[in-house]
Amino acid sequence: MKNYGYIADVPNEKDYIFGSSLPFAQLVGEEGWQEYLPEREFQNLNGIEPYACVSYTVLNAVETLIKRKYGISTDWSDRFLASISGTIEGGNSPRKVCDSLRKNGVVFQEVWPFNQNIDSFEKFYEEIPQRIKDIAKEFTDEWDFKYEIVPSTPEMISLALKCSPLLISVPAWFERDGKYYRPEGMTDNHATSLFYQREGDFRRIFDSYDQPCIKDIEWNVIPTQVVRFSIEKRITSPKKNWVMDLYDRLLEFITG
């Protein structure tokens, strides 16, 4: 059985649970997040398998939220996040990826790209230079990223979906009558982005695989794990801006 890269987290008492940590902040209605989805990027580019579905899903949610809240289109490096969070052959868990993003940050796609030159698993996960890791800290300076676990019930999923796109775990991929389903005894092995649903009918996801990337999942397929996200732009004090501007000018003068 193919492993698509999702490793389930074991619940613990330190988990932040939906409704008890982040404030409820409705950002969309029944129309969902379609209008704010990022550009499509595929984890199996060049025919390699990086097992990075969790990183793609988390960053798809972050990019969608930033566009909805601030009107800014961003493109963060899925390859960087997958590597810095310790993704291995077999995948990673949402908790590890989210905690890495929160603590270590991420760089823009062009800084650590996944392009036609990255044509092997080894190249995808080559060592990241320290200078690139240092640049990633700019994300944590500018953005306050948080996440919380959503109880896997239809009611809680519907409520949380108003606050952010959701990471949901799914069994990949079994189709009948135009929708994907969970065969009896099948466990979830893939993480993807829930962005819209039709109550009682289907849940629609934005996937990191091109087969196609928009898929509808049968309503009775309840995810094993669901994660909600939050992103806030940090307020930088005018004093700090003045000091940094002076520093930049001095550095420019010294270096010519």
Domain count within the chain: 1
- Is pLDDT of 204 > 90? yes
Cα angle value 61/219/214 (rounded, 5°): 45
> pLDDT category, 116, cuts 50, 70, 90?
confident
Mean pLDDT over 187-202 rounds to: 97
Instruction: Judge contact between 77 and 101, C-beta under 8 A.
Output: no
Per the domain annotation, does 207 fall within a domain?
A: yes
Question: CA-CA distance, 61 to 63, in Å (whole number)?
Answer: 6
Per the domain annotation, does 55 fall within a domain?
A: yes
Question: CA-CA distance, 123 to 117, in Å (whole number)?
Answer: 9
Q: Could you give phi then psi for residue 63, rounded to 5 degrees?
A: -65, -40
Per the domain annotation, does 5 fall within a domain?
A: no
Per the domain annotation, does 159 fall within a domain?
A: yes
User: What pairs with residue 194 in β-bridges?
Assistant: 166, 205
User: What's the Cα-to-Cα distance from 119 to each of 44, 86, 180, rounded to whole Å?
Assistant: 10, 20, 30
Per the domain annotation, does 161 fall within a domain?
A: yes
Mean pLDDT over 176-196 rounds to: 96
Question: CA-CA distance, 211 to 93, in Å (whole number)?
Answer: 23
Question: CA-CA distance, 10 to 13, in Å (whole number)?
Answer: 10
pLDDT at 19: 87
Nearest to 59 by CA among 107, 123, 11, 20: 107
Instruction: Judge contact between 150 and 20, C-beta under 8 A.
Output: no
What is the CATH classification number for the domain harbouring 234? 3.90.70.10
- Of the listed ranges 33-37, 134-138, 206-210, the least confidently predicted one is 206-210
Tokens (6 digits) for 135: 């640049």
Question: CA-CA distance, 38 to 150, in Å (whole number)?
Answer: 23
Instruction: Output the pTM of the full model.
Output: 0.90
- Is pLDDT of 179 > 80? yes
Instruction: Judge contact between 218 and 186, C-beta under 8 A.
Output: no
- Is pLDDT of 140 > 60? yes
Q: What is the amino acid identity at position 146?
A: K
pLDDT at 242: 46
> pLDDT category, 158, cuts 50, 70, 90?
very high
Per the domain annotation, does 8 fall within a domain?
A: no
Question: CA-CA distance, 94 to 142, in Å (whole number)?
Answer: 22
Length, in residues, of the chain: 256
Tokens (6 digits) for 191: 């993480």
- Of the listed ranges 74-78, 114-118, 145-149, the least confidently predicted one is 114-118
| Domain of residue 41, residue span | 34-255
Per the domain annotation, does 188 fall within a domain?
A: yes
- Is pLDDT of 244 > 70? no
Mean predicted lDDT score pLDDT of the chain? 91
Percentage above 70 pLDDT, the chain: 90
Mean pLDDT over 63-82 rounds to: 97
- Is pLDDT of 238 > 50? no
Cα angle value 50/51/57 (rounded, 5°): 110
> pLDDT category, 247, cuts 50, 70, 90?
very low
Q: What is the amino acid identity at position 174?
A: F
Per the domain annotation, does 26 fall within a domain?
A: no
